[in-house]
Chains A and B, each alone.
Chain A
């Protein structure tokens, strides 16, 4: 992976070199002449910092970062100064200026064309960001050849700026609200609307093919506008979005003739009864190019015959995930129509009224689906039907039973056959015993999520430290775990830290607040401490249970690779926050709620906030003056104080703080209950 940074002095050096260079004998300036050292240091240059690219491309663990290097910021606003300017002929301003630059001289153009031909092969965003920093020529060439844009915070940069820099994008990945918005911590109407982005792209990228949105507000008219604006449009993925309903989906179905992917994942779809539209029947009558259709979250009745017909005329369909209004009998028919499916979301997995199905019939359907590697759904599964999937278990790579209310005994026959499983989501109703079976069978498990059947603080909880230890013993290759429980011990967490050294994501949620180790009654500091000490690859951590300042000291000392940290009901004092902000050098996303951290802690992060995507703090001990101080000292930071109602903003205590770096300053769509400092 390329990581190129050049000093300011190197830059001048390069300018000098370019002065002397003549025509075709000049070599590519950057690699030869610029030593690869710090371009500018954060401490000396208070302007918008270079943004580190983060994260790989793993599904649920995307920690993507924007990396918008603004030349204005880099040059400290002194664009155009320096000895080389006059000699650059028609070059004039730098390539990144808002105005369209005059074309470079011929020799430069040739060079850039060559460069473009090379750079187009760079796919990884991190590589591209690094390449764009080498010199202006590379910056321009990279901008011309970047096909996929990834914006981690829709407010960090404006659509106009994006569109100005990248002229040839074909795909956009855009994220809006931070994760805590999923838990009703952001008031309705806070923002993150897709409309302005859509408007900009409709003119700039008429050839747009792919859009992936996460936690944005997308309206039906947005969807209609999208469908009309991009004739080559192919892939639409909406994750945890809201604001649209079946009307918007209908327009997509009608107008997007080249649609390959329509994945609707965990969105909050408006489903007002009288306004539900039969969007499935709106797909064109001809053969479609659909490869993936996921609508589990669209909780409206489905016109089944239209769906069946659609599947029948979609020969490329490999991924089909239906909602819970599709019965078991209907599912069987769909499977018969699409025997080459690789991913199947099974809907309710329950026989409909008057459907008389036995397990043998169902099993046969699965026997025929030889390509299945991923199963989900099971929204209303009756345990006796679950064994129907046995024929495909050996091939399964991913199994999501997180809606299936089953016991350990019901799970065992199935899971013991799933020896190739890499991803497994399950409800805690299977208990520690069920987890033991998982540990025995799934030696290749990379990701485990255990969800609570009863998501309340005082529920009994069926899994515990026992289950966690079992998993850690059996699943040594575990990389990602999300575990909800009510009882946990430090020793279990320590055991996992030692057994599962490949852990990248560790999220433990002890649902009862402030719960200590249930055996020793100690805080959970040592357990989480062991995780950060032993799991060197850890990039994402969520802590819970009774925690003191000590655990944050551990995190600060050892969690040097941590990029996302979630804290709730933890810590004793500002020390905790101070430790984390001073010690976790890779930290990019910090979400905190209900912890006794105040202004002192907040201010201790001033050196680091430009390196982060965002900080969220709610129900802590912040005051308006503390937040104002941060806002004053950091001009490229947007500091939002959010109240549930406009009147909440009058008080001096800050209930909700959301701050993030941005090249644009305060956004212009601020609702009344948000105050930008």
Chain B
């Protein structure tokens, strides 16, 4: 897979010998890093392009460290990296170019991007306008709640003092939400369970998976507080309605559940999204 290429200034002979080039068989592209070469494609780009006019010049010059053993996984990794980047770009560029699309596809949300702290989000839907004073101020603020892009709600877990915020709009089903909650608290749970753990985590602690959040079978159960202040079990209402009414979430110990603390204690679950 490695290709010959012309030497660059900064290359020592040895580095050049060991240098890896990213490339697919059969393509004779010039992989030099200088972007003055202007706009050029990679085969990857061509295959992923939506046919939009703007060509994004990318020179893909990944040089691997000189350990040829790692060749095997590094190249696919770099390809993967590029593909991942491209796929995400595709979603965004597609929207830019095809703004006539009625439905806006949410791009795969990336954690922490754009770099705005969570308390600054949720502005696009905060109650900025009172109903008795309608005016022509920013139309964006008038956007009805269910068109919000993201909705960050606080989520706490029994036994863990620090809460977090999750964007429930980033998921489209209860299962995905459950998975995300699992990931969110797992690390912290692990830390809590073994506060004396030192050094290598490879002396492994059994990874505590939080399962059964939705069906009452697990050690923990997911509940939420709705817009009327009632505590409800997650999963009872259709997903869209849940997103609309949920104001905060809580991961409860299943043993702590009591009928008096919940508004709707039906254990019958409507399945799925």
Interface size on B, residues (CB 8 A): 91
Q: Which residues of A contact B33 (CB under 8 A)?
A: 548-549, 572-573, 575
Contacts of A509 in B (CB 8 A): 114-115
Does A151 lie at the interface of the complex (its beta carbon under 8 Å from any beta carbon of B)? no
Chain B 102-139 near chain A by CB (<8 Å), digits 1 or 0: 00101101111111111111011011111001011110
> What distance in Å separates the Cβ of B241 from its nearest Cβ neighbour in chain A?
22
- Does A25 interact with chain B (Cβ within 8 Å)? no
Residues of chain A lying within 8 A (CB to CB) of residue B124? 453-454
Measured between beta carbons, the chain B residues less than 8 angstroms from A360 are none
Contact indicator A407/B114 (Cβ below 8 Å): no
Chain A residues with Cβ below 8 Å from B186 are 644-645
A521 to B57, CA, bound (A): 9
Please indicate the chain B residues that have their CB under 8 angstroms from the CB of A525 in the complex: 35
Q: How far is the CA of A56 from the CA of B81 in the complex (A)?
A: 40
Q: Which of B35, B74, B120, B154 contacts A455 (CB 8 A)?
A: B120
Q: Any chain B CB within 8 A of the CB of A653?
A: yes
Shortest A481–chain B CB gap in Å is 15
Instruction: For the complex, give the distance between the alpha carbons of A676 and B156 in Å.
Output: 29
Within 8 A of A (CB), among B173-187: 183-187
> Once the chains are docked, how many angstroms separate the CA of A162 from the CA of B201?
30
Stretch at the interface among A100-108, A436-444, A593-601: A593-601
A402 CB–B CB distance under 8 Å: yes
Quick check: B123 and A427 within 8 Å, CB to CB?
Answer: yes
Contacts known (A405-B123, A572-B58); A243 close to B140, Cβ less than 8 A: no
| B223 → A minimal CB distance (Å) | 13
Q: Which residue of chain B is the closest to A578 with respect to CB atoms?
A: B10
Whether a CB of chain A sits under 8 angstroms from the CB of B50 is: no
Q: List 13 A-B contacts (CB under 8 A).
A: A182-B117, A183-B113, A188-B162, A189-B192, A407-B138, A455-B121, A509-B114, A511-B114, A569-B85, A621-B81, A623-B70, A625-B70, A673-B187
Question: Contacts A189-B162, A676-B199 given: A402-B120 contact, CB under 8 Å?
Answer: yes
Q: Quick one: closest A residue to B136, CB to CB?
A: A407
Is B65 positioned at the interface, with any CB of A under 8 Å from its CB? yes
Is the Cβ of A456 less than 8 Å from the Cβ of B141? no
Instruction: Spot the interface stretch: A78-86, A206-214, A378-386, A416-424.
Output: A378-386
Given contacts A509-B114, A512-B96, A668-B198, contact A242 B162 (CB under 8 A): yes
Contact call B65/A603, Cβ cutoff below 8 A: yes
1/0 per residue B161-204: CB within 8 Å of A? 11110000000000000000001111110111010011111101
Contacts from B to A (Cβ < 8 Å): 10, 33-35, 39, 54-65, 67, 70, 73-74, 77-78, 81-82, 85, 88-89, 91-92, 95-96, 104, 106-107, 109-121, 123-124, 126-130, 133, 135-138, 140-141, 149-150, 154, 156, 160-164, 183-188, 190-192, 194, 197-202, 204-205, 207, 225
Contact: B137 with A183, CB < 8 Å?
A: no
Q: Are A596 and B183 in contact (CB under 8 A)?
A: no
**Pairwise interchain contact A451-B202, C-beta atoms closer than 8 A:** no
Chain A, range 174-219, C-beta contacts under 8 Å to B: 180, 182-185, 187-189, 217, 219
Q: Are B78 and A297 in contact (CB under 8 A)?
A: no
Closest to B38 in A: A522
Contact B62 A621 (CB under 8 A): yes
State the CA gap A427–B56 with chains docked (Å): 30
Given A266-B117, A512-B92, A572-B59, are A382 and B190 neighbors across the interface (CB < 8 Å)? no
CB pair A646 B201 closer than 8 Å: yes
Among candidates A572, A598, A674, residue contacting B64 with C-beta atoms closer than 8 Å: A598
Cross-chain contact B113 with A653 (CB below 8 angstroms)? no
Q: Collect the chain B residues with CB atoms within 8 Å of residue A268's CB.
A: 162-163
Q: Contact: A455 with B190, CB < 8 Å?
A: no
List chain A residues, Cβ under 8 A from B149. 454, 456, 459
Contacts of A566 in B (CB 8 A): 115
CB contact between B35 and one of A217, A521, A550, A646 (< 8 Å): that residue: A550
CB distance from A248 to the nearest CB of B (A): 11
Which residue of the partner chain B has the closest CB to A648?
A: B187
Set B63, B187, B225: member contacting A645, Cβ < 8 A: B187
Cross-chain contact A183 with B117 (CB below 8 angstroms): yes
Q: How far is the CB of A569 from chain B (nearest CB, A)?
A: 7
Q: Known: A403-B123, A405-B128. Is A573-B62 also a contact (CB below 8 A)? A: yes
For the A-B complex with A270-B162, A452-B116, A573-B63 known, give 5 more contacts whose Cβ atoms are closer than 8 Å. A189-B188, A272-B156, A382-B133, A429-B138, A644-B187
User: Which residue of A184, A188, A513, A548 is within 8 Å of B88 (Cβ)?
Assistant: A513
Which residue, of A185, A568, A672, has the highest number of chain B Cβ atoms within 10 A? Answer: A672
Closest chain-B Cβ to A176's Cβ sits at a distance in Å of 13
Per the bound structure, the CA–CA distance linking A383 and B114 in Å amounts to 27
Interface residues on chain A, number (Cβ under 8 Å): 95
> What's the Cα separation between A311 and B92 when bound, in Å?
50
Q: Measured between alpha carbons, how far is A451 from B201 in the docked complex, in Å?
A: 40
Give chain B residues whose Cβ lies under 8 Å from the Cβ of A568. Answer: 113, 115
Interface hits, A539-592 → B, CB 8 Å: 546, 548-550, 566, 568-569, 572-575, 578
8 Å CB interface, A82-102 against B: none
Measured between C-beta atoms, what is the minimum distance from B73 to chain A in Å? Answer: 7
3 shortest A-B CB distances, which residue pairs? A183-B112, A671-B191, A599-B65
Question: Could you say which of A403, A457, A599 has the most chain B C-beta atoms within 10 Å of its C-beta?
Answer: A457
Check B63–A513 contact: CB distance below 8 A.
no
Bound state CA distance, A272 and B96, in angstroms?
Answer: 41
CA gap between A383 and B186 in the complex, in Å:
44
Give the contacts of A206-255 with B (CB-CB under 8 A): 217, 219-220, 242-243
Residues of B with C-beta under 8 A to A272: 156, 163
Pick the residue among B58, B59, B95, B117 that contacts A458 (CB under 8 A): B95
Contact yes or no, B65 A672, CB < 8 A: no
Name the one of A407, A513, A603, A676 contacting B113, with C-beta atoms under 8 angstroms. A513
Q: Which residues of chain B have C-beta atoms less than 8 A from A118's C-beta? A: none
A645–B162 contact, CB under 8 A?
no
Residues of A within 8 A of B192 (CB): 189
Q: Which residues of B contact A626 (CB under 8 A)?
A: 65
A187 and B123 form a contact (CB under 8 A): no
Instruction: Give complex CA distance A458, B130 in Å.
Output: 28
- Determine the chain A residues whose CB is within 8 A of the CB of B113 once the complex forms: 183, 457, 511, 513, 568-569, 593-594
B58 surroundings in chain A (CB, below 8 A): 572
Q: Which residues of A contact B115 (CB under 8 A)?
A: 180, 182-183, 509, 566, 568
A652, CB-defined interface residue at 8 Å: yes
